[in-house]
Amino acid sequence: MAAILIVDDEAGVRASLGGILRDEGYVVDAVDSGEACLEQVTRRSYDLLLLDIWLPGLDGLETLARLRERHIEAQVIMISGHGSIENAVRATKLGAFDFIEKPLFLEKTMLVVRNALRQHRLEEENRALRARVDRQFVMVGESALIQQLRAQIAMAAPTNSRVLISGENGTGKELVARQIHALSNRRAGPFVEVNCAAIPEELIESELFGHMKGAFTGAVANRRGKFELAHGGTLFLDEIADMSLKTQAKVLRALQEQVIEPVGGQSSVRVDVRVIAATNKHLAEEIREGRFREDLFFRLNVIPISVPPLRERGDDVVRLARHFVSELAQEYGRREKQLSPEAAAMLRAFRWPGNVRELRNVVERVLIMAPGNTIAETDLGFLEVVAPTMFRDASGASIVRPLHDARDDWERDYILATLEACEGNISKTAEMLDVERSNLYKKMRSLGIGPAREN
């Protein structure tokens, strides 16, 4: 619920206005001077200030000016006494949203308050939207694993349950999280992302829970945390295994009680947030090593979804490559290029340690670097930097071969190298490779490895 601060030196106004607003369900605090107002806004963040123009000491206009100086983003409505309309108009020029006149009429007051809060919320949403990269969130893929993933997303999305997404780097964990949000009942609410690995340890709590001005060096203004910004929507906690145990304890508490406490604040804020978490680590191992709280794991892991590595998705590699070719060509205003069958086969055979993200980068690079209208296998030569001999035959030409042949070559090289290290001694070689001597013989014969010294 929205938080409102009343600033008025008349106790009667504080009491009656406060009562009415509380009845409407708002969280209301009240102070009696401009000085007290400037102090109070450092204790918690408000959505709206009702600020009297006539105040002893610092008057309403000066208070407003100082609030703006300090980048307090709350909406402000001026309360003007008799004959101070002119000042109220000046205040709106200083950035006040509107003014109401004493004596206060219930209906008019409520109307202005509601408008101000709606405007405030729109502004905040707008900011969040603009900050979000404006991309299409389509999920490309027809493989069995991706169809299964889609089904899991569709089932999880409307439930409001917490979801824990696991998968290697670049597999599309964030995309999955965004899809769950987009298919959920919270889709009109915000989707807020926090990359726990990218935020320095000493800032993560303030990032998640917000802070009050002066809570620590550098906290020059009140700031809302991501939990609060995600109110009514979804909070995506990325790379959760990178949170310290201390932060994990606080996150656990926020999840259990659905309330958060800004750093340096004295009161807690109730939040309605669905949490989707993601990790590329094995949390079971992190728990065993004492780096991740088991109780937090159980809280987060209500619905587990695992995103498969790209190398297990078969032809999806090629589909994704074509998708990125047309997406990126459009982005750069260039002509689309075709993918030669050999190039497609090469992409499909590659192991993609960086998964979809890496594939996208490769496509981007090829679009920029490859000269013709077709992407040929030679344009993908640089993939061999990552896998030097994987795609070469004996003559050094670039090819993609059946897995069986590639495996034979590799085994042959490995056995020959071990034999050499053992100076041709078969017994020793068998021992090093941990295979039976007779099996090693058989293997060598089938791989066409020449006669060796037998002893």
For binding to ligand ATP (CB under 6 A), which residues are involved? 138-141, 167, 169-175, 280, 320, 323, 356-357, 360
Task: Residue 271: name its binding partner from Mg ion, ligand ATP, none (Cβ under 5 to 8 Å by kind).
Answer: none
Closest C-alpha among 301, 302, 299, 318 to residue 310: 318
Matching residue, tokens 């106790």: 11
Nearer to ligand ATP, 277 or 320 (CB): 320
Task: State the minimum distance, in angstroms, from the CB of residue 203 to Mg ion.
Answer: 19
Task: Residue 34: name its binding partner from Mg ion, ligand ATP, none (Cβ under 5 to 8 Å by kind).
Answer: none
Q: Which amino acid is at 135?
A: R
Task: State the minimum distance, in angstroms, from the CB of residue 89 to Mg ion.
Answer: 50
Task: State the minimum distance, in angstroms, from the CB of residue 171 to ligand ATP.
Answer: 5
Secondary structure, 3-state, 16-34 = HHHHHHHHCCCEEEEECCH
Nearer to ligand ATP, 66 or 357 (CB): 357
Report how far residue 390's alpha carbon sits from residue 407's, in angstroms, rounded to the nearest whole number: 10
Report how far residue 97's alpha carbon sits from residue 266's, in angstroms, rounded to the nearest whole number: 28
Question: Which residues from 135-174 bind Mg ion, rule CB under 5 A?
Answer: 174
Phi, psi angles (nearest 5°) of residue 295: -65, -35
Task: State the minimum distance, in angstroms, from the CB of residue 15 to ligand ATP.
Answer: 52
Task: State the minimum distance, in angstroms, from the CB of residue 292 to ligand ATP.
Answer: 17
- Count of residues engaged in binding Mg ion, rule: CB under 5 A: 1
Confirm if 195 and 240 have CB atoms less than 8 A apart.
no
Secondary structure, 3-state, 376-387 = CHHHHCCHHHHC
Task: Residue 360: name its binding partner from ligand ATP, Mg ion, none (Cβ under 5 to 8 Å by kind).
Answer: ligand ATP
Q: What is the number of other CB atoms lying within 10 angstroms of the CB of residue 312?
A: 13
Question: Which residues from 167-196 bind Mg ion, rule CB under 5 A?
Answer: 174
Task: Residue 175: name its binding partner from Mg ion, ligand ATP, none (Cβ under 5 to 8 Å by kind).
Answer: ligand ATP
Task: State the minimum distance, in angstroms, from the CB of residue 146 to Mg ion.
Answer: 17
Q: Is 435 left (phi over 0), alpha (psi -120 to 50) or beta?
A: beta
Tokens encoding 192 = 């807020």
61-87: buried (b, 16+ CB within 10 Å) or exposed (e) per residue?
bebbebbeeeebbbbbbbbbbeebeeb
Task: State the minimum distance, in angstroms, from the CB of residue 254 to Mg ion.
Answer: 21
Nearer to ligand ATP, 171 or 429 (CB): 171
Nearer to ligand ATP, 138 or 144 (CB): 138
Nearer to ligand ATP, 176 or 254 (CB): 176
Nearer to ligand ATP, 119 or 143 (CB): 143
Task: State the minimum distance, in angstroms, from the CB of residue 363 to ligand ATP.
Answer: 11
Bridge pairing between strands 374-375 and 338-339: parallel
Nearer to ligand ATP, 1 or 151 (CB): 151
What sign has the CA pseudo-torsion 342, 344, 348, 354?
Answer: positive
Task: State the minimum distance, in angstroms, from the CB of residue 28 to ligand ATP.
Answer: 41
Task: Residue 60: name its binding partner from Mg ion, ligand ATP, none (Cβ under 5 to 8 Å by kind).
Answer: none
* Max CA pair span of the chain: 113
Confirm if 391 and 398 have CB atoms less than 8 A apart.
yes
Report the residue closest to ligand ATP, judged by CB: 172
Nearer to ligand ATP, 97 or 236 (CB): 236
Nearer to ligand ATP, 112 or 347 (CB): 347
Closest C-alpha among 234, 25, 241 to residue 113: 25
Confirm if 349 and 359 have CB atoms less than 8 A apart.
no
Task: Residue 308: name its binding partner from ligand ATP, Mg ion, none (Cβ under 5 to 8 Å by kind).
Answer: none
Task: Residue 106: name its binding partner from Mg ion, ligand ATP, none (Cβ under 5 to 8 Å by kind).
Answer: none
Task: Residue 18: name its binding partner from Mg ion, ligand ATP, none (Cβ under 5 to 8 Å by kind).
Answer: none
Give the interface with Mg ion as residue ranges (CB under 5 A). 174
